[in-house]
Structure 1
């Protein structure tokens, strides 16, 4: 069973985050509670509070874990950075909702925007990074919600992510092509808008 209790587990931040991701992928963000995580780990709920002061802290740490590879990558364009950020979120059920909840942490939001800003060449890098982050989060939350609603209507497992349906994760399934195209067009619109601002300056 995917979420069987772990006997004799050495409770740590890493083991808690790992279980949080399992619950996220299987049931969604709403079920990723301190009580649910502790139950699946076979420990008392209070044990988690030695590592995370509340659910928001757990959300923040889980988000940072999911973004670890993306946040240490140097991207050669805003488009590439945004596409990879979107793919990172789409790889997990409610991934975009999780990251959206986590960016209430100013430090995490700053770190994400710093990666996006580094991919933008020009004086409007910070504005572009903030705008791009809002666009990526909003569009991906909608894409995941629509995908999960379509799965539920078709009677498919709601835990299947868009990236899992793509097989190797390299491209969206056929039904998401239009959304992917619109996403790219949106990113390019932001990029061209930044260039226009620079020209007018």
Structure 2
């Protein structure tokens, strides 16, 4: 490599920390980017280079003032020279891992390297948005605290319309049986208590005894009186 270019690259190494006047541009993945060279004085030759975030400094190419490529090294297919006559470098299909970094141009005047404005390309961060389906959202809302009337498991049901009727039979059947049993116990208890009361009541016992006295004895009693 020509010693002149080696000297230029050495100077560029010390310029990696140059941050004043840097223009930050957030670029989407796959987007075409146009980088304009803004020099205070446009001379016969313009040098393009970039300092990548992951692989260090990289020489792109050198061009004449009218956009003609002057460096012998082939230009990367990632770049386009369509607007190089206007001092605009075009980057095709930006990739964050491959193209993220600082881009700059420079020119040489009397063995002095003059830099133009620096442009930093920053890859856009992908934001993952998770959405729930309407069905999942609806089911999540309906799973709140609720009171269920009954939980019937009918393996032979033919449709959901027969489920309330089946539940009513299961609930009303035991209730009706229990009411019938209570009614029967009430009747038996009433008869039993009435029987005990009849046996123990003296007034009722005297009436029953008088009814059972023979007619002959009753007449003799009346005569004695």
Give TM-score, length-normalised by structure 2.
0.21
Structure of higher CA gyration radius? 2
Give TM-score, length-normalised by structure 1.
0.22
* Higher helix residue share: 1
* Higher strand residue share: 2
